[in-house]
Amino acid sequence: MRLRISPAGYVLLVGDLVAFWLFIYYGKLLHQLPANFLGILETLMPFLIGWLIAAFVFRSYGRKTYGNGWRLLLSTVLTWTLAAPIGLILRSIWLDAPMTWIFSQVTYLITLAFLLGWRVPYAIIYSMRGRFRRMETRPIK
């Protein structure tokens, strides 16, 4: 199976990485934990692995996904709903830290808000850009 990602999909991936980084950065600051590169990377890796697995399963970076705002919304929710438990389990193993129900809920909801907070405007801008391109190529009658 070959995975094809267009340049717009790579922009989406970079934006997602920034959303994850911001969630972890602010979480570390809030909990007064080291927010240095290694501290963030240590927390990021389990969730990033979960996200990439789920993104592959749901083809979250395919052109069909981000070309439509509703489809992107559904894809984001489905991808994160699979990725979050994977990331939480890997984090628990990686850091040898117990998983708590409240941490799991907060992580799921706040990270989803960070992801949607940038992915929905991205889908709107991407679809508007496509409409403007189609309008420019129409012949004038």
Question: Over the stretch 45-86, which tens digit does the pLDDT of each residue have?
Answer: 999 999 999 999 999 998 888 777 788 899 999 999 999 999
CA atoms within 13 A on the CB side of 56: 8
Span 93-106, pLDDT tens digits: 998 989 999 999 99
Q: For residue 9, give every residue at least 6 positions away whose Cβ sits within 8 Å of its Cβ, in sequence order, or none.
A: 61, 62, 63, 66
In the chain, what percentage of residues exceed pLDDT 70? Answer: 89
CA proximity to 61, closest of 119, 1, 128? 119
Give me the helix-helix angle, 37-58 and 7-30, nearest 10°: 140
**Rg value, the chain, Cα:** 17
Amino acid at position 88, single letter: L
Which residue has better confidence, 8 or 88?
A: 88
Q: Roughly what angle, to the nearest 10 degrees, separates helices 69-95 and 101-137? A: 150
Which residues make Cβ contacts (< 8 Å) with residue 47, sequence separation at least 6?
Answer: 20, 24, 83, 84, 87, 90, 91, 111
Domain ranges of the chain: 7-136
